[in-house]
Structure formats: C-alpha cells, structure tokens
Amino acid sequence: AGFEFEVCVSGVDESYGERENPEDIAEELARRKAQAVGETWEGEEALILGADTVVALEEGAGWGILGKPGDAAEAQRMLQAISGTRHAVVTGVCVVRSSDGALFQGSERTWVRMREILPEEIDAYVASEIGRASCRERV
C-alpha cells in the first residue's frame, strides 16, 4: 500500500486481570500498545497500529487464556496444554490517529486443531531459537 512504517516497542503492561473473553483481552492489549506509542507521536500526524494475540482453550463455560510464557518451563506447560486440542487463536488490532486519539479496534478468532505434540518435539521447540524468543522476559 506504499506506507512507510517504523516498529516501536510499547513497553506496556500486558496483564489483563480477571477478563475471560479472549477477544476483549486481545483488543485491550492492542489498544494499550497503540495508545502508548501514539503518545510518543504527539503533535505529529501518524497512524499507529497496535496488535496482540492470545491463545484460548475452552474450559467448561469459560476460557483458559495462554499469554506469553515467562520462562521455558511455562512454555512447555503451554505447549502440553494445547497438544491434541482445538483452541482459539485471537488477534486484536487497534489503529490510533496521533493527532486526535481517534481509534478503531477489532479482533479475529481462528480455530486451530493441533495434533498431539511429542514430548521430545516440545523440548526441541523450547530449546530452539524460536522457542527461546517466545520465552524471553517481558520488555
């Protein structure tokens, strides 16, 4: 589309409290990110896109939400939890206009059916460069 863009880390708190609806969580986190970065563009005209993705497992009448793992052990537990399941992957987006704070937000849910993951596959993934990147301390 011809847009020039810059990637900015928002540094916002990604906790979400007692909310259980994965769409609400993903949208709120995306909004926090977009608004935090938007504040750094005060006085300039820019569109800021914030996004966040959560994985949600159906648990009875509610949801179990999997955020970013804090360490390798937590990543292993999360991978074991989604192994062999049908779970939701929800991405929230928020666009903020820096000049006046106007925003649009929404989310999309995708159902993913995961095959059984062997324990050695989980270990290899967590030990890999990709797995280590997903297990870093939060910024």
Task: Please give the Cα distance from 126 to 120 (Å, whole number).
Answer: 10
CA dihedral defined by 93, 77, 135, 121, rounded to 10 degrees?
-100
- Residue 139: band (very low, low, confident or very high) from pLDDT cuts 50, 70, 90: very low
62 vs 33 pLDDT, higher one: 33
pLDDT tens digits, one per residue of 3-26: 888 888 899 988 887 767 999 999
Output the average pLDDT for the chain.
88
- pLDDT over 70 (residue 98): yes
Contact 111, 86 (CB under 8 A): yes
**pLDDT for the residue 68:** 81
**pLDDT for the residue 131:** 64
24 is catalytic: no
> Would you mind telling me the total number of residues written for the chain in this entry?
139
The two tokens of residue 30 are 């995306």
Q: One of 13, 24, 52, 71 is an active-site residue; which one?
A: 52
Task: Please give the Cα distance from 117 to 40 (Å, whole number).
Answer: 43
